[in-house]
């Protein structure tokens, strides 16, 4: 078997296999994983865990390793209790462990939700531009995918949303707040309008919720009144645990029961459970970088606007900015200067994840060089 540089096999060999028709010609999803000095492309937290947190995780994993001959705890109630305690403090709610569920990243959570509530003959609806993975989970679960649109400021067009919901009667609606790649948060009133119109479940993906600005509420506060609402979160972003693969949902206990029917047995390894619990025990320390990143984000938005570019409102740890007649040339120019960002979003826009102060300085310097003909020269020192 010949392997190409991306770790896949030659395409001609793939063509000979009885692959599902809708998967023919498809490529595995993923942003380029390039090794460059400044990586601002997949919305990771740039700060690695401290020595203290690393030691706590290592100790917890060592303890778990003593029983790795056994399958892990399938219901992982201790972890679910820790997650409930974290959310209860974060959003001032009163969730029980039975209302929490976790998996290998919130990507797996979303797939489990579509396995349980989507499927052949059913439709999932979302509003573009939004997270590019959703259509792939829909495809993988044989769920029909319908993408509505947003207003030009990336807010929801509620009238359009209501029409789309009435027309397609989706069993799953996915809202994303703050939205990726735009960074915009949804007002709870908009979520309520969608909940009232929805014939099925409404998933609010809050992967970036910890970065929201003061006063922006979480959809968790709507759970008590809405049994059809599911809120998903992840430890990949604010918690600086992307490598740990731990995503979770909060919902009515009945939603958790539905997902438990489709989950693979023992899907969440003992190592992942131990890692997540150790990280949650240090949540204050891990989340201490969030304030720094918020300030850096707001500074980035201000700078982009000051030099004459557009930047979307952001409640997340990234900023969508533009617009460029040739965004690929700008992306490539930044990469040539050692700064990797993401070519995503509507035509002409680019997305930059918020890194450390030094990394953002490198981004500004590189962008000033690459787009010098586009930026406002009166700004002078761009760094
Ligand atoms: C990053 C991201 C996730 C998180 O994925 P994990 O599988 O938890 O790492 C989920 N939703 C959105 C919109 C994201 O951008």
Share of the chain above pLDDT 70, in %: 95
Q: How far is CA 258 from CA 80, 95, 228, 253, in A?
A: 16, 18, 12, 9
pLDDT tens per residue across span 115-174: 999 999 999 999 999 999 999 999 999 999 999 999 999 999 999 999 999 999 999 999
DSSP tag of 213: P
In a 13 Å sphere around the CA of 184, the CA atoms on its Cβ side amount to: 23
Share in percent of the chain as helix, strand, coil (round to 5)? 45, 15, 40
User: What is the tens place of the pLDDT at every residue in 186-219?
Assistant: 999 999 999 999 999 999 999 999 999 988 999 9
Over the chain, what is the mean pLDDT?
94
Pocket test of ligand 1: the residue of 31, 238, 247 to mutate, having most ligand atoms within 8 Å of its CB, is 247
Ligand 1 atom with the shortest distance to the CA of 179 = 13
Q: How many CA atoms lie within 13 A of 180 on its CB side?
A: 23
Domains observed in the chain: 31-49+288-381 (3.90.1150.10), 57-282 (3.40.640.10)
pLDDT at site 8: 62
Residues having CB within 6 Å of any atom of ligand 1:
43, 105-107, 131, 176, 180, 205, 207, 234, 236-237, 242, 247
Decide: 203 and 232 in contact? Cβ < 8 Å: yes
* Alpha-carbon distances of 278 from 17, 46, 58, 261, rounded to whole Å: 43, 20, 9, 28
Q: Please tell me the distance between residue 211's alpha carbon and the centre of ligand 1 in angstroms.
A: 14
Tell me how far CA of residue 309 lies from CA of 28, 305, 320, 350, in angstroms: 33, 5, 11, 11
DSSP structural state of residue 219 = G
Average pLDDT over residues 355-381: 84
| pLDDT tens-digit series, residues 44-73 | 999 999 999 999 999 999 999 999 999 999
- Ligand 1 atom 1, closest CA: 207
Distance CA 290, CA 197 (A): 35
| 127 CB-side CA count, 13 A | 33
* Model pTM score: 0.94
Residue 88 has pLDDT above 70, yes or no: yes
**Contact indicator for 254, 223 with CB cutoff of 8 Å:** no
> Angle between the 357-370 and 283-306 helix axes, to the nearest 10 degrees?
20
Q: Return the best residue to mutate from 41, 42, 205 for the ligand 1 pocket (most ligand atoms within 8 A of CB).
A: 205
What is the per-residue pLDDT for 3?
Answer: 40
Q: What is the pLDDT of residue 189?
A: 97
Tens of pLDDT, residues 247-265? 999 999 999 999 999 999 9
């Amino acid at each position: 078997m010949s392997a190409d540089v991306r770790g896949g096999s030659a395409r001609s060999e793939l063509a000979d296999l009885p692959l599902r028709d809708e998967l023919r010609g498809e490529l595995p999803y993923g942003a380029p994983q390039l090794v460059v000095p400044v990586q601002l492309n997949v919305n990771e937290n740039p700060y690695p865990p401290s020595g203290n947190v690393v030691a706590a995780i290592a100790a917890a994993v060592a303890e778990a390793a003593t029983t790795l001959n056994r399958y892990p705890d399938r219901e992982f109630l201790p972890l679910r209790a820790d997650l409930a305690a974290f959310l209860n403090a974060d959003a001032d709610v009163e969730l029980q462990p039975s209302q929490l569920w976790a998996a290998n990243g919130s990507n797996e959570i979303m797939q489990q939700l579509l396995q349980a509530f989507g499927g052949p003959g059913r439709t999932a609806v979302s509003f573009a531009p939004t997270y590019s993975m959703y259509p792939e989970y829909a495809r993988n679960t044989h769920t029909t995918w319908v993408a509505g649109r947003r207003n030009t400021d990336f807010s929801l067009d509620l009238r359009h949303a209501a029409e789309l919901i009435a027309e397609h009667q989706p069993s799953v609606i996915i809202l994303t707040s703050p939205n990726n790649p735009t960074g915009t948060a949804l007002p709870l009133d908009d979520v309520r309008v969608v909940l009232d119109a929805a014939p099925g479940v409404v998933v609010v993906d809050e992967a970036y919720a910890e970065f929201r600005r003061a006063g922006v509420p979480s959809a968790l506060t709507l759970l008590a009144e809405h049994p059809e609402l599911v809120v998903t979160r992840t430890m990949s972003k604010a918690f600086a645990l992307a490598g740990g693969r731990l995503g979770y949902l909060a919902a009515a206990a009945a939603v958790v029961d539905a997902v438990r029917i489709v989950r693979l047995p023992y899907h969440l390894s003992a190592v992942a459970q131990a890692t997540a619990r150790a990280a949650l025990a240090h949540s204050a320390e891990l989340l201490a970088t969030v304030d720094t990143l918020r300030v850096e984000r707001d500074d980035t938005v201000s700078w982009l606007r000051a030099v004459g570019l557009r930047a979307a409102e952001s409640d997340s740890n990234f900023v969508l900015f533009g617009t460029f007649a040739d965004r690929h040339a700008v992306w490539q120019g930044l990469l040539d200067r050692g700064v990797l960002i993401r070519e995503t979003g509507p035509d002409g826009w680019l997305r930059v994840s918020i890194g450390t102060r030094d990394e953002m300085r490198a981004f500004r310097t590189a962008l000033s060089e690459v787009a010098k003909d586009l930026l406002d020269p009166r700004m002078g020192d761009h760094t």
